[in-house]
Amino acid sequence: MVFQVYAILSRSLDRRMSTSEPPSYTSVALAGVGTGALQTLILSPVELVKIRLQLEAAGRKRQGPVDMVRDIMRREGLRGIYRGLTVTALRDAPSHGVYFWTYEYARERLHPGCRSTGQESLATMLVSGGLAGVASWVCCYPLDVVKSRLQAQTQTHPPSPRYRGVVDCFRKSVREEGLPVLWRGLGTAVARAFVVNGAIFSAYELALRFLVRNNGRQTLVMEEMKCHDH
């Protein structure tokens, strides 16, 4: 879904009407920002539930995702389900802009002309996708730390939530644990991101290439059948 939304937005935002040319880098970045912002409506509640499940007390009977959603709704209401939505959007919108821009720029640098021909090698896909994943995590990692801390707290624990918002969480985290806390675990995250996103982009590009070729063959067969009919 993310790639489909991105593809639609990148074409819609490109001033050039020709579909034979790849979208401009500006359109790519803006489409990535739009895609990241839209996906937060789904991703934010999912990540909230995941974090709450991971932080459940050891002595408490473990809940499933559905039970956790019901528990949050009962204690915190609909607003509780979307706790952290703002910071998730602040994280995902720019990071997706960087994500798709880095991929398109890297693949063109590694294989000049491939954005127009779509004929880059598998190695180019893997490396470009990996670099895109690394770049997106590096630019948004501090916000991811803040998001996780905000979503981990509830409004029902007395006397009051530890953090009152994004800025407050930044200030308290840095004051109490120092600047390195905002980058804790980055090495593991980017190593995983390189492998995972290299595979994701490669799978997407290869699947797209297969579908285009298959559709081309079907069109050719239909044209030949029409010729025989005449």
Residue 223 main-chain phi, psi, to 5 deg: -65, -40
| pLDDT tens profile 92-122 | 999 999 999 999 999 999 999 998 888 889 9
Q: Which domain holds residue 155?
A: 2-229
| CA–CA separation, 161 and 153 (whole Å) | 6
Label residue 79 by pLDDT band (50, 70, 90): confident
pLDDT at 59 over 80: no
Mean pLDDT, all residues of the chain: 85
Q: What is the 3-state secondary structure (H, E, C) of the chain?
A: CHHHHHHHHHHHCCCCCCCCCCCCHHHHHHHHHHHHHHHHHHHHHHHHHHHHHHCCCCCCCCCCHHHHHHHHHHHHHHHHHCCCHHHHHHHHHHHHHHHHHHHHHHHHHHCCCHHHHCCCCHHHHHHHHHHHHHHHHHHHHHHHHHHHHHHHCCCCCCCCCCCCCHHHHHHHHHHHHCHHHHHCCHHHHHHHHHHHHHHHHHHHHHHHHHHHHHHHHHHHHHHHHHHHHC
Label residue 12 by pLDDT band (50, 70, 90): confident
Q: Considering its fold, how many domains does the chain have in total? A: 1
The end-to-end CA distance of the chain, in Å, is 42
Per-residue pLDDT, 221: 40
| CA–CA separation, 94 and 80 (whole Å) | 24
Determine what percent of the chain is predicted with pLDDT higher than 70: 85
Q: Which has the minimum average pLDDT: 40-44, 54-58, 101-105?
A: 54-58
The domain that contains 195 carries what CATH number? 1.50.40.10
| CA–CA separation, 126 and 103 (whole Å) | 10
Are the beta carbons of 22 and 116 closer than 8 angstroms? yes
Residues in CB range of 73: below 8 A, 6 or more apart: 80, 81
| CA–CA separation, 3 and 139 (whole Å) | 20
Burial (Cβ within 10 Å: 0-12, 13-18, ≥19) of residue 17: exposed
| pLDDT tens profile 134-164 | 999 999 999 999 998 888 886 555 557 788 8
Are the beta carbons of 107 and 115 closer than 8 angstroms? yes
